[in-house]
Amino acid sequence: MTGTIVKSNERKLTIARSMAEALAQEMRIDPTVFVMGEDIGTLGGVYGNTRGLIEEFGPERVRDTPISETGFIGAAVGAAQDGMRPVVELMFVDFFGVCFDAIYNLMAKNIYFSGGHLKVPMVLMTSTGGGYSDGGQHSQCLYGTFAHLPGMKVVAPSNAYDAKGLMTAALRDDSPVVYMYHKGLQGMGWLGTEPGATVHVPEDSYTVEIGKAKVVREGRDVTIVSLGIGVHHALKAADTLAQQNVSAEVVDLRSLVPLDRDTIRASVAKTGRLIVVDEDYHSFGVSAEVIASVVEHDLSVLKAAPVRVAYPDVPIPYARVMEQFCLPSPAKIVAAWAQMAA
């Protein structure tokens, strides 16, 4: 999955642990890095991604906050402009509604408003995704909402190797980075984890460049582009398609902003067909942007109309049968191929 050669005795980490490790390693070498959020201290984060930090760095640098997202995310912007490198957690991305001004009008714009004289080196970590019946205010992805608005980089890892490297890169970036991690990949047993997300992670610090997608499976007949948990659906679909003698290439976006349009275009130029898988809402989102990247560039490479496998434009229902009906799945990707090939 990561492209590294994995020996069986190599250490594997969950995304949660790899995020925490990247944070700890950076906090050891950079005293300006500190973390704020709800339940990120004593509890170690609802999703485990700050586990162990308060024990090592203490409550001054690992700060449990009141339920005051506008306050503490706005405060992170101010601290970042003043020379710190804050990391803030928005527990569920669905909660952005109570604090978006601090994010998109301050965090994302103050570099520009200063004519580039200011730096806003901060990371906003936030969990995404559903599939476990948490209802319509705790299950959204909202990738497109964040990626749409200029001034913030946006990353979304699909596995622990990328999760650590992207976190380290985000922490060292002088621009704000929104780090969107999918709950179903986190390695928290109670959320039911996709095993493919838990991979070998080197102990030493390293970065994964923000803005670079990765071809995680090579193929000839169709390109499946996705991010986060969708990459795992795509890989499973590719396995099924292989049994039908269809060779699918899978592109893991890893970053949404900047979007690696070159990698997408190169893959589709090779395969001629494009399926985009996105757990975010169907319309006005990442899936449309990926397709636009191809068709605006060179329509002639396409042998068929691109297809989206995305979340229908409805609030996320609670009942399992309804939610599962709406979610992207390997079977839906295989069906998309059938539609495309027909």
- Which residues does the annotation mark as catalytic? 69, 138
Main-chain phi, psi angles of 62, to 5 degrees: -130, 95
Q: Does the protein bind another protein through residue 331 (CB under 8 A)?
A: no
Residue 71 CB, nearest approach to another protein (Å):
8
Residue 81 CB, nearest approach to another protein (Å):
21
Whether 251 contacts 271, CB under 8 Å: no
Of 218-226, 295-303, 316-324, 331-339: span binding another protein (CB under 8 A): 316-324
Binding site for ligand TPP (CB under 6 A): 38, 67, 69, 91, 95, 98
DSSP 3-state of 125: strand
Q: Does the protein bind another protein through residue 315 (CB under 8 A)?
A: yes
Site for another protein in 162-191 (CB under 8 A): 189-191
Residue 29 CB, nearest approach to another protein (Å):
28
**Between 46 and 199, CB nearer to ligand TPP:** 46
- Tokens encoding 150: 């200029």
Whether 51 contacts 15, CB under 8 Å: no
| Of the residues 326, 333, 334, 336, which one makes contact with another protein according to CB under 8 A | 326
**Between 91 and 210, CB nearer to ligand TPP:** 91
- Tokens encoding 108: 């994302």
Residue 150: C-alpha distances to residues 67, 105, 119, 147 (Å): 27, 10, 15, 7
- Tokens encoding 147: 């990626």
Q: Does the protein bind another protein through residue 52 (CB under 8 A)?
A: no
Question: How many whole angstroms separate alpha carbon 255 and alpha carbon 293?
Answer: 15
Q: Does the protein bind another protein through residue 283 (CB under 8 A)?
A: no
Spatial CB neighbours of 248, under 8 Å, sequence gap ≥ 6: 217, 219, 221, 222, 223, 224, 234, 237, 238, 241, 242, 337
Q: Does the protein bind another protein through residue 42 (CB under 8 A)?
A: yes
Site for another protein in 117-146 (CB under 8 A): 131-138
E-state strands within 113-207: 123-128, 153-155, 177-182, 199-200
**Between 249 and 323, CB nearer to another protein:** 323
Residues in contact with another protein by the rule CB under 8 A? 38-39, 41-43, 46, 64-71, 94-95, 97-98, 131-138, 189-192, 312-315, 317-326
